[in-house]
Amino acid sequence: MPTYDIQGVPVEFPYEAYECQLAYMGSVVRALEAGSNALLESPTGTGKTLCLLCAALGWRRDRERRTAEARTSWEAQSDPNAPAMGATCQRIWYASRTHSQLKQVVHELKRTSYRPHSVVLGSREHFCVHSSVSRHTGARQNAMCKRARDENRCPFYVGLRKGQGNKVNTSCLDIEEIVSSCREASVCPFYKTREDAKEAELLLIPYDYLINPLTRESLSVSIKGSVLIFDEGHNIEKSCESVASFELTGHDIASAIVELDDAFDLLDQGIVGAEALGDMAPEALMSLFNSVKKNLLALEDSIFSEKLEKDLTAGKAMLKAKGSNILSVFGRGSSRGEGITPDDAKRICNIIRKAISVLTFSMESVTSGGMYLDKVQSLLTTMFKPDPAELDKNYMMLLYEDGETRGTKRKSVDFFSSIASTTCTAEKARTLCLWCFSCSVAMNELMQREVHSVIITSGTLSPVEGTADAFGVPFPVLLQNSHVIDTQKQLWGGVLSHGPENVRLDASYEQRDSPNYLQDLGRAVVSFAGCVPDGILLAFQSYAQKDSVIRAWRATGLWEEIAQQKPIFEEPKGNMETQAMLEKYNDALTRNKGPGAILAAVCRGKLCEGIDFTDRQCRLVIMVGIPYPSRNDLRVLMKQAFLDVRLAEGEGRKWYVREAIRAVNQTLGRVIRHRHDFGGVLLCDSRYARDGRLSALSQGLSAWLRPRMSVPNSFAEALAGCRSFFGLATAVSMPTAEAFRQGLPNAPQPELASSGNVKSKASGGRAATAPIGGQNASRPLAAAGVDVGTPLSTLTALWKSRRRHSPDQLQPEDGPVIVISDPAESSSATPSVPSVQSVPSEPLAPQGASIRGPATPQGKPQVAQQPVRDRSATAPLAGSAPKPFNRVAAARATPVASRGVFRPAGNTPQTRQSVATILKAQSTCKEDWLRRAEKLLPRMEYEQVAAAMREAAEAAEVAEGADEGSSDADGKLMAALRRAAEVLLPAFCFDTPEEKRTREALIVDCTKAILPGLLRPLWRRQVDDVLGAQGRTCDFWGRG
């Protein structure tokens, strides 16, 4: 595994790193060494997560080494840069937005050489395996879990306390694997991960859990001196503001009061055990419930006593005030009860916890479980945490009418009164909001915990400068990384200002419903759908716009015109519907010779934010309009007003634009997902351009994309540029497994396409392939009577012994039948050279026809097929034994222009049927191996294996032509085989039993589908050596 010196820190990386990856790891190490913060933008497909893990863990390992040296070495202690003797190695918190993204992080971690003690953390909802408790959520689930533990009714928690947790290793497992392992061992996954977190070196956690102080403190793991990494950080600003904000509706207050009534009834009926009461008498607890109920009634009265005014922009009656005004609303009180002050908050929260415990005493209870009381408790904690000055600085209060009327009947205030009075009002319901509009609140709270560094990274942080300012903490290390692809060859971009009928494309509120605009937009989509292969992501700025545009297209018949080019699939709103729709979309893409498909989605939706579109799934992103936040959203209006007052006039507008362009960047990033991907982006709105150049708005596009964005002078010019790109795109250096399997146009000519193929130069600079051995072209070397010494020498000796015989009499043991035609029947241009006759699996282009590049969507990669012979035409002489046939020599002796062109000699129906059967078997074997390899191996590992095997095949070709064994070629061959074996057999492997079987089958079948058969003994030797070095034995060769 390569090791790189990054800022003086050795970092092991599983592959040869690209320049952009080295730059990224350098920024990570520089921030960690200085103990500073970093804001890093690196496009999707650059291996961001892998680089982040390797750099952070490599730095931590080096720090651990230096700390150990400082304790034992006088020389190290004299180094001013050495860690202090008592210093501990920093714990790393790796946070991402969702558990599904953390699952991918664990997958990337397994690909590295680092094996830290790691654990994934989550809520009870994700980890609970108790049959009853797991059916619930929130406060009810927490309370039921507590009771099940207290009464020893949870076998999994009991198993953990009995020490069965030692049987489970949570390190390098994702959340599903942890749950499965713990369930099998009868161990509670939730508390098992909590215990492991106390000693873990790497903790993986959703970043809402890390930002929220209440959730973070419940982990009982300090973040002091830790490294905090926030991946997918383009959403962190919103998350930081959300955890410090709350909304309280009239329904919330009424429901909380009803829950107190229910708790009172349970106590009054005497069905609550001593566990819920603690050391309190039921009557005393009922009195406390009564006092809190009075507080909530007083809060309700205070909210309705505020005078509201009609806001013309929002169209609602509301009151906007500074953040500290919330204190007067809560503390005012009324005739029905006293107000709530900061001094009361702790007492009320304790009483609420008691009420929740009473409500959830019965495991079979059907009550709400205190969900609304828990919300009141959380907002009290949030509201009284900052002081009044901080509330004015970072918060705003909003009180507005919902339009609905309230009228909930409730019991009397005095529980002990015999008068069953009720209250019933017909006023419009109101909502009280305390919104934080500065993510600096959460970020500064983290910095006050004395963390070592905070690293925020994403593929779409642009514009970086505005993003850094919003966090309110310094970020000395900033990076806008380049892309791993060659953007000149693999990316096309354009701004479409006018449609085919020269109608200005403007999706602003005033123009978006114009019939002319809708008509020309549809015509543009029809045109581009006809010249772009595979999948198109048609992204709208909002759900309302998508619905109105599609409705108009259906009414005018444009929908059917578009569907004639490609079938259209709409993004649904439900998760189950989305999964079913994606399956249909993928089916349309994989259908043989199909036109592709169009996916109509919405910016900030599930498809534009959380779905990974690769290769054929997205060749072009068409962005319709500009996805500004909804201008009628109260929070958006308040945020703009807050920034204009807090900073300067116009800052609210800058934020509004920044949010829009960030959503655009996130959507456009769907088009390129790995190094060998290619595609285009089209911005269908005139506001992205001005005077023939990109507008100020477009300057916020990601740095890797912006240089490739052009502003064509006309629709025809834009269409021609797109058609030219997809017709003449240059191939990248390594094909994908998908391209190998299906012959997709996004891949170059395979340098190692199937069993025993090696790279050979062909006319026109295109790659052809020449086979060097059948799938079973050789028996074990010892059985062949050859001394098993130097590998290339052995191979050369074997091949030379075969070459002594006449090639026209021989055929491989198990490979396809070969025929070498008579020289007199060869091409007149080369009369003395025999030609190999073969049957291509695809019809060949006529001579002189235009040959598109390997990335051409309309073209098919041309791969040379196995030569075939008519047995009756070339039967060996009587008494002569069949000899091996050297297919490399035969292929070399064939004119390049004639390879793969001729039909087999003896063109009989039997021969044609035999040829078809052989080619189909070879293709099926290769496709099956690649399909299994792609499913098991990550993309970069697949590339490394393919490259190593290609080198091995090339070295074998050198050996075939050498008079004597070459030590250089020998070393190259063995090194290539060794690299492939090490990737397929990692020292630390966390495969499931099914994945283990797949991995072993890939190794066994390698020389049947990918490697030349003659290399099988050497491949086995390398596999055995790798396993031996790891202290393992090979027990699966017999299965091949």
pLDDT digits (tens, 9 = 90+) for 965-992: 456 667 778 888 888 888 888 765 656 7
Instruction: With cut-offs at 50, 70 and 90, classify the pLDDT of residue 570.
Output: very high
Res. 89: pLDDT tops 90: no
Using the predicted structure, report yes or no on whether residue 1035 has a pLDDT greater than 90.
Answer: no
User: What are 248-252's contacts with CB under 8 Å, separation 24+?
Assistant: 248/375, 248/376, 248/379, 248/431, 248/432, 248/433, 249/402, 249/429, 249/430, 249/431, 249/432, 250/300, 250/303, 250/402, 250/406, 250/429, 250/430, 250/431, 251/406, 251/429, 252/372, 252/375, 252/376
Q: Quote the DSSP letter at residue 882.
A: P
Predicted confidence at residue 5, as pLDDT, reads: 93
The predicted model gives 110-135 an average pLDDT of: 91
Region 598-626: mean pLDDT is: 87
Q: What is the pLDDT of residue 114?
A: 94
Per-residue pLDDT, 262: 87
DSSP string, 728-762: HPPP-SS--HHHHHHT-TTS---SS-STTEEEEE-
pLDDT exceeds cutoff 80 at 474:
yes
Task: Please state which of the ranges 79-83, 165-169, 899-903 shows the lowest mean pLDDT.
Answer: 899-903
Sign of CA dihedral 604, 470, 455, 941: positive
pLDDT at 918: 57
User: CA 338, CA 318: separation in Å to the nearest integer?
Assistant: 25
pLDDT score of 237? 87
DSSP letter assigned to residue 358: H
Alpha-carbon distances of 16 from 288, 493, 940, 947, rounded to whole Å: 67, 29, 10, 12
- What is the end-to-end Cα distance of the chain in Å, rounded? 29
Residues above pLDDT 70, as percent of the chain: 73
DSSP single-letter state for residue 806:
-
- Whether residue 980 contacts residue 952, with contact meaning beta carbons closer than 8 Å, is answered with yes
Least confident of 116-120, 560-564, 996-1000: 996-1000
- The answer to whether 919 and 865 are in contact (CB under 8 A) is yes
Q: pLDDT value at position 865? A: 37
**Which of 326-330, 438-442, 537-541, 857-861 is the least confident region?**
857-861
Strands 757-761 and 767-771: antiparallel
Tokens of 892: 């070399």
Secondary structure (DSSP) of 896-944: GGGTTTSPPSS--HHHHHHHHHHHHHHHHHHHHHHHHHHHHS-HHHHHH
- pLDDT of 453 reads 94
Q: What global pTM score does this model have?
A: 0.67
Is the Cβ–Cβ distance between 777 and 1013 less than 8 Å? yes
Give 679's pLDDT tier (boundaries 50, 70, 90): very high
Query: Which has the minimum average pLDDT: 214-228, 396-410, 493-507, 581-595?
Result: 396-410
- Compute the average pLDDT of residues 687-703: 91
pLDDT band at 30 (very low <50, low <70, confident <90, very high): very high
User: How far apart are the C-alpha atoms of 374 and 377, rounded to whole Å?
Assistant: 5
Q: How far apart are CA 354 and CA 349, in angstroms?
A: 9
Q: What is the pLDDT of residue 621?
A: 95
Identify which of 783, 761, 778 has the alpha carbon closest to the alpha carbon of residue 770: 761
Under 8 Å CB-to-CB from 412, ≥6 apart: which residues?
419, 420, 421, 422
With a cut of 60, say whether residue 859 has pLDDT above it.
no
Query: What does the block give as tokens for 821?
Result: 């035609």
pLDDT tier for residue 157 given thresholds of 50, 70 and 90: very high
Instruction: Give the confidence band of 916 by pLDDT, cuts at 50, 70, 90.
Output: low
C-alpha 245, offset from chain centre: 29
User: Chain-centre distance of CA 942, in angstroms?
Assistant: 18
Q: Give the largest CA-CA distance in the chain.
A: 119
| pLDDT at residue 463 in the model | 75
More confident residue, 398 or 745: 398
Check whether 272 has a pLDDT greater than 80.
Answer: no
**pLDDT at 1023 exceeding the cut of 90:** no
| pLDDT value for 182 | 93
- For 36-66, the pLDDT digits (tens) are 999 999 988 888 899 999 999 999 999 988 8
Mean pLDDT on 998-1020: 78
* Whole-number pLDDT of residue 106: 93
> Cα 440 from chain centroid?
27
- In this predicted structure, the answer to whether residue 768 has a pLDDT above a threshold of 90 is no
Position 405 scores a pLDDT of 53
Length of the chain: 1040
Summary mean pLDDT of the chain: 76
Is the C-alpha dihedral spanning 96, 102, 104, 105 positive or negative?
Answer: positive
Provide the pLDDT for residue 961.
57
126, pLDDT greater than 80: yes
**Any idea which of 75-89, 360-374, 417-431, 672-686 has the lowest mean pLDDT?**
417-431
Dihedral sign for Cα atoms in the order 215, 219, 222, 225 = negative
Q: Which of 45-49, 137-141, 421-425, 958-962 has the lowest mean pLDDT?
A: 421-425
Question: What confidence score (pLDDT) does residue 789 get?
Answer: 40
In the prediction, which pLDDT does 500 show? 94
The more confident residue out of 236 and 1034 is 236
What average pLDDT score do residues 147-158 get?
Answer: 88
pLDDT of residue 756: 32
Are the C-beta atoms of residues 461 and 27 closer than 8 Å to each other? Answer: no
